[in-house]
Amino acid sequence: MLRLFALFLPTVIPSWRFFKTVAPSPRIEYRLISGESKGRWQEDRPRPEHLGGWQILGRMLWNPDWNEQLYLVSCSERLIEAPSQHSIDEINLRVAKALPAGSGDLQFRLVFLSREGKQIVKLVEYESAPVSLASLKGASA
Amino acid sequence: MSVMDVFQQGLTAAQAMGWMQVLLSFAIAQQSLEHLARGDRMIFVPRLILCVVMGLGVGGAWPVWGLWGISLAMLWRYQGPYNGGSDKMTMLILSCLSLAHMAPTPFWQEMALSYLAVQLVLSYFVSGWVKLVNPEWRRGEALCDVFRFSAYPVSEGLRRLADQPRFLFVMGWAVILFELVFPLSLLDPVALKLALLCAAGFHFSNACFFGLNRFFWIWLCAYPALIWFQDRIFG
């Protein structure tokens, strides 16, 4: 009950501090592991190079993929600030859902981008334990 | 009736609540359909049904209270907001509307709507203030960083805007100044409507650049409360 109250309170007394600072920004990268063979790290749902005007307007009404991506950004930030199994499960399930079915394990890591002087630096802040892709696909079905 | 007449018109508390419920039924239905595309039928089928009921204007306060309960369940399901500030605003509007429906007297109904109106003003003013006190925003670097490496730009092509520091400096200051002076628009009904149009344009641009479509729709839902508030306090 106390937890629910803690989740509810910021919605009725919001801080409204949008973009107070531009904090290090998370990206989710994943790889597939099959036995001893570890695949290369790949960015989860890389954004397109270009979006046309009609696509942007269409997204005003229908934008489920991008909104899920924003939720995964929140889960990534929460995982660093206050680690929880919930955040790990949500990322695992949603990364797995976007992948074709297969055997082996799925592992993800969180890479944070930030600016140091004029350079953009990448820092790996978290690496998950590998989980069976088949079990994740089954759970997200 | 001329455009000026429309701009000078206020709303009664009942009209404001009615408009908010119609707008909310659309905004929450839009959110719910997006969720249904990803699964989670247990939460979002009932949510969608309640939106339709509320949009049709039947069931009195029950659909509002039902949607409030489902929003609470969503907070639990996602262990916080799914879509950041837009979920917070959804919950805030539903909480204030729920209280306004439960209010034993018109005074308490007005208190609930006033709270929402004040929070709406704060959503702009506080957001402008925290940028103003940050040197990176004042120098225009923060907006460059948003485009350069944040998770928000919807395409890689948009990141090239980070190479236009003068343009982003001007845009950054335009946002800061607009957010800071927004409360002054309460002094005049026409100024308020114009400020709300500008604010809607601001949310629209955020939706185009950063994919924040839900923010656009849900912030519009709270505007009737502010139009009522302006008329009630300054009218």
Give residue B168's pLDDT band: very low, low, confident or very high (50, 70, 90).
very high
pLDDT of A90 reads 97
**Phi, psi of A62, deg, nearest 5:** -140, 105
Cβ of residue B172 closer than 8 Å to a chain A Cβ: no
How far is CA B72 from each of CA A34, B16, B54, B79, B205, rounded to the nearest angstrom?
41, 24, 18, 10, 29
Listed by start position, the domains of chain A span 19-42+52-140
Among the partner residues B38, B79, B204, nearest to A86 by beta-carbon distance:
B79
- Taking 90 as the threshold, does the pLDDT of residue B203 lie above it? yes
What letter would DSSP give residue A19? Answer: T
Cβ of residue B203 closer than 8 Å to a chain A Cβ: no
CB contact under 8 A, B211 and A59: yes
Which residues of chain A make contact with B33, given a CB cutoff of 8 A? 62
Nearest by Cα to B114 from B230, B31, B205, B195: B230
Percent of chain A whose pLDDT exceeds 90: 84
**Phi, psi of A34, deg, nearest 5:** -125, 105
Listed by start position, the domains of chain B span 12-234
Residue holding tokens 């696509």? A55
Give residue A19's pLDDT band: very low, low, confident or very high (50, 70, 90).
confident
Cβ of residue B159 closer than 8 Å to a chain A Cβ: no
CB contact under 8 A, B126 and A16: yes
Give residue B34's pLDDT band: very low, low, confident or very high (50, 70, 90).
very high
Give residue B1's pLDDT band: very low, low, confident or very high (50, 70, 90).
low
Nearest-angstrom CA–CA distance, B202 and A33: 45
pLDDT of B144 reads 97
The mean pLDDT value for A44-54 works out to 95
Which residues of chain A make contact with B126, given a CB cutoff of 8 A? 15-17
The mean pLDDT value for B57-73 works out to 97
Beta strands in chain A (DSSP E): 25-34, 37-38, 42-43, 105-116, 119-127, 131-132
Bridge pairing between strands A105-116 and A131-132: antiparallel
Per-residue pLDDT reduced to its tens digit, A66-115: 999 999 999 999 999 999 999 999 999 999 999 998 889 999 999 999 99
Nearest-angstrom CA–CA distance, A68 and B38: 9
Q: Taking the C-alpha atoms of A43, A47, A50 and A51 in order, what is their torsion angle to the nearest 10 degrees?
A: 160
What letter would DSSP give residue B185? Answer: G
Nearest-angstrom CA–CA distance, A24 and A44: 18
Min Cα separation A37/chain B (Å): 30
Q: Tell me which chain A residue has its CA closest to the CA of residue B144.
A: A22
The mean pLDDT value for A6-10 works out to 97
- Taking 90 as the threshold, does the pLDDT of residue B9 lie above it? no
The mean pLDDT value for B164-175 works out to 97
Nearest-angstrom CA–CA distance, A137 and B211: 27
- Taking 90 as the threshold, does the pLDDT of residue B4 lie above it? no
pLDDT of A141 reads 66
Nearest-angstrom CA–CA distance, A12 and B44: 22
Nearest-angstrom CA–CA distance, A121 and A24: 9
Nearest-angstrom CA–CA distance, B218 and A11: 14
